[in-house]
Structure 1
């Protein structure tokens, strides 16, 4: 494999993956991205033209997708509408991108016999009780809670069906919550960091007891590359770094690292259907493929993320006022 097509590669997790691949391999990468509000071409602007190109287009455009898939050895499918709040406000774009877009890519992969890896989320499994000793595994039944997670669950099932029914050489990975550079300021961690940096008070949904299993985006990238190169066709792998923390604890760690009082934030109305806890068991990935996370200390990974946002205001400041206006309109 030498040429990869990465959908959604101008978004947060996709851009980190593209940068990781160009550092860690000799592959060339083409990014196909619709360049919606959540994408930022500046995340890729310094990459070498000899090994990288960006194509502006929609994954539901069957003719465009077919031509690109035909020209590449493998497809890594990151492109998705992914923000829960937006899915509650208008579910339709999530159906178009996450379901129809995935179908369009799978059909092209089937026609041209290409390797396909599908990026998904732990949110397809629903949530866990705070005192539940279990974690999500590859065998956990799907129980999505939102239009976002339900459309991602649908896309996972499409990949499984195309693999079984049509022989598409596909794998799936479901990952826990990512953090790191290049993440849109509407997301929890960058929103709080950039609120402090712009003199605004951070916001916490409800009481903040909701637990997420955090993983640095670079660790997610290395896991996806391992699955792409060594994963068993037809298999699902869960990606996690044992990073469970409550939203309140994460926010207070951000405040502490930025020299602010630990109570310098506001509580806002909780999200409808807000999942309580996510937790990933990545034993299969670690035992089969020998993968290990590099960012095992969340505090250190968070400090490097805060440093990136502090040093890269020009990247995120154009997004900030628009994102906060949307949150204000939603009472959040």
Structure 2
């Protein structure tokens, strides 16, 4: 057993004031952190319980969007009337993730911060630069079926596991945080997660002790919304390829497009070139193929995951057909 200290925060300000010390972690639902602690992948010296803070509401913003508290359970967010009506891609993404029991416990903020499901990250006997910087990457040259084909580096080819984050990337969400000095930050979700580069163990732009308090969505976008997830089994499986798509067609042409991808990279992947290849064009397989070419221009397989490249192409084209039907 690894001993650790435990404290329960009575306010967000108290949590961040105490959260910046080395070895300290915030815990809410704990659906990922506790598993990692059991395996001794994570060994925090101190846990700060934020689960009772007043951050569990979904409210309209003055701009016409939504403010989602960091402690809103995934199940509640998926079932929320406004989310189901105006942001169905988010509701569908949430329902495609994990199991009903986990969705009841998992929080919005925690979902954004969950760590990779790379086999070697979880195996403390294997080399993993994300878990132990400088030790190497056993996935490169190993069994890497679920690993990334976009945005990789020589240090890491892990993928981000969240379904919710992919939908929020397509919706252009903003992450609102509170820092230890009392300042608040607004971080575009596109900038929130980092690519691995030479520091795959640094996964987000959060500073030590910085706490997610809310996620804000802009007003509901125009067009049809779809979330498509390709996985090994019908439930309780992470995406091999997933797509959150929002497309509006006007006068027979694609007027706007927002496409985010899961299962392909270290973070929810959104490439402006893919959307630019669609806007202004007549919906059809010719335009869809150009978008797929843009998406996969720099894709690289590592053996066991080579199949993801043609799978991503087929999944994108199928999703675009559905969005523009």
Query: Would the TM-score normalized by the shorter structure come out above 0.5?
Result: no
TM-score band, normalised by shorter chain: under 0.3
TM-score, normalised with respect to structure 2: 0.26
The structure with more helix, counted as a fraction of residues: 1
